[in-house]
Chains A and B, each alone.
Chain A
Amino acid sequence: MSHLLREHAPITETGWKTIDEEARERLLPGLAGRRLVDFSGPHGWEYSATNLGRVEDDDVSPIKGVEANRRVVLPLVELRARFTVSREELRAGDRGAEDIDFDALDIAAQSIVEAENLAVFHSWPKAGVDGIGECSPHDAIHSDGGVEKYPAHVARAVELLLRKGIAGPYGLALGREQYTRVVESAEHGGYPLLDHLRKILEGPIVWAPGVKGAVVLSMRGGDFNFVSGQDLSVGYESHDSDTVTLYLEESFSFRVLTPEAAVPISPLES
């Protein structure tokens, strides 16, 4: 039995299958980092840290004549978001109902998506994660002039990357507000803004909940690495006569290997 304790839950095989499918459906659209950066793993729940191949400068030896330096590792972060499911709803699912109420799962999934994106694209100091935007040495491109100026901003970011010798294709992660405004906009002549941006990037444009503004980054590989310990899973916590409490869980770390391979764009001015 794994630490997820799924076997202890009062949930049938059919119920688990439905919950897993619903969880995947809710998580997949927003996991922007995984669409743009390298992914390593999953290495398993027991995997706790990534080797960085370095040691700390401080000599911690208590004995004269002996040098001692601690290894530097990047510890993984555990994410967990709890949600409840009504047992009556689960029983309905076992009878074949197709409209089971998974509202709480929806909220938990969105929270996990935002936390993962925040770690990848910005930073999470308390977890020791420095994200893409935080590490980038480039000043954020100021997003003035409304969404219609986005092709100019993205082109400027791509040109900056090319100048630094960072090859494409390039991807674009857009925060909620930016994504909506880009998708609904057309340039003069009716040409969809989204298509114009794709032509500049030669790579994907992804919806990235939790991202403030946008980030243009190279997708050539080897620049950003999402290290997965245990990939996203559903575990069991407790139950009573009415509800079952479950949780979404994963462990991961994130490394920026080439800080200059990304350019942030500031949030749109309203």
Chain B
Amino acid sequence: MGFDQYHEPPQELPEETRTFARLCASLTEEAEAIGWYEQRLAVERDPEARGVMADAVGEEYKHFCMDLEFLLRRKPKWREIAQGVLLREGDIVEHGEAAEAAAGDSASAEAPSSELPVLAGTLGIGSLKEGQ
């Protein structure tokens, strides 16, 4: 088994960062699988095989969403941008730019310290000591 999800020496990373990296890797794998099923379904003619694969891709959608939700719960700024982009009608790029600008303006946008779990609804105050 490889440890490719780590870009930095794993022993130097906090446990929370390693968990975060694992879920990022998992998210990538789910997206990859969705792409593969999309291609397989595009060429498969056997209805029974198509049924099996359609069911399987549904699982990948679910896994992708669960991974994403986990990651968004730990990154308030990412969550804020996602809220401005996901599940909205209209121009995706426009929403993205606006959400990014709004998150950049918000003092509470990023986690107060490192990669520790942040509860949805927290005010993100954390340390107010300069330099910490």
A: residues with CB less than 8 A from B are 2, 4, 6, 13, 20-21, 23-24, 27-28, 31, 34-39, 41-45, 204, 219, 228, 230-235
A222 to B130, CA, bound (A): 15
Contacting pair A34 B121 (CB below 8 A): no
Whether B118 pairs with A42 at a CB distance below 8 angstroms is: yes
A232-B123 contact, Cβ under 8 Å, with A39-B113, A42-B112: yes
Q: A2-B121, A28-B128, A233-B121 are in contact. Are A20 and B108 (CB under 8 A)?
A: yes
Are A35 and B128 in contact, CB atoms less than 8 angstroms apart? Answer: yes
Contact A231 B128 (CB under 8 A): no
Interface presence of B126 (CB below 8 A): yes
Instruction: List the B side residues contacting A4 at CB < 8 Å.
Output: 119-121
Who on chain A is nearest to B127 by CB? Answer: A39
**Between-chain CB contacts (< 8 Å), 19 pairs:** A2-B121, A4-B120, A20-B108, A24-B108, A24-B124, A31-B125, A34-B127, A34-B128, A36-B129, A38-B132, A39-B126, A41-B113, A42-B118, A44-B116, A219-B129, A231-B119, A232-B122, A233-B122, A234-B123
A230, B122: Cβ atoms closer than 8 Å: yes
Q: Knowing that A2-B121, A38-B129, A231-B118 are A-B contacts, what are 19 other residue pairs whose CB atoms are under 8 Å apart, sorted by A's residue number?
A: A20-B123, A24-B107, A24-B123, A27-B123, A31-B125, A34-B127, A35-B129, A35-B130, A38-B127, A39-B113, A39-B126, A39-B132, A42-B117, A42-B118, A43-B117, A45-B119, A230-B119, A232-B122, A235-B121
Nearest residue, chain A, Cβ from B108: A24
How far apart sit A6 and B122, CA to CA, in the bound complex (Å)?
11
Q: Contacts A20-B108, A234-B123 given; indicate if A34 touches B116 (C-beta within 8 A).
A: no
Q: Complex: how many Å from CA A88 to CA B50? A: 54
| Contacting pair A34 B125 (CB below 8 A) | yes
Contact A233 B127 (CB under 8 A): no
B111 (CB) vs chain A CBs: closest residue: A42
Range of interface residues on chain B?
A: 20 to 34
- Complex CA distance for A231 and B132, rounded to whole angstroms: 16
Interface centre among B117, B118, B126, B127 (most CB of A within 10 A): B127
Instruction: Tell whether A42 pairs with B129 under 8 Å between CB atoms, given A6-B120, A231-B112.
Output: no
A204/B122 in contact, CB under 8 A: no
The 6 closest A-B pairs by CB, nearest first: A39-B127, A34-B128, A44-B117, A4-B121, A233-B122, A35-B128
Q: Which residue of B lies closest to A46 (CB)?
A: B117
> A108 to nearest B CB, angstroms?
13
> Chain B contacts of A43 at CB under 8 A?
116-117
**Residues in chain A near residue B113, CB distance under 8 A:** 39, 41-42
Q: In the complex, which of the residues B116, B122, B126, B130 has the most CB atoms of chain A within 10 Å of its own CB atom? A: B122
User: What is the minimal beta-carbon distance from A37 to any residue of chain B, in angstroms?
Assistant: 7
Chain A CB within 10 Å, residue with most, of B83, B117, B119: B119
Contact of A2 among B112, B120, B123 (CB under 8 A): B120
- Residues on A with C-beta less than 8 A from B108 are 20-21, 24
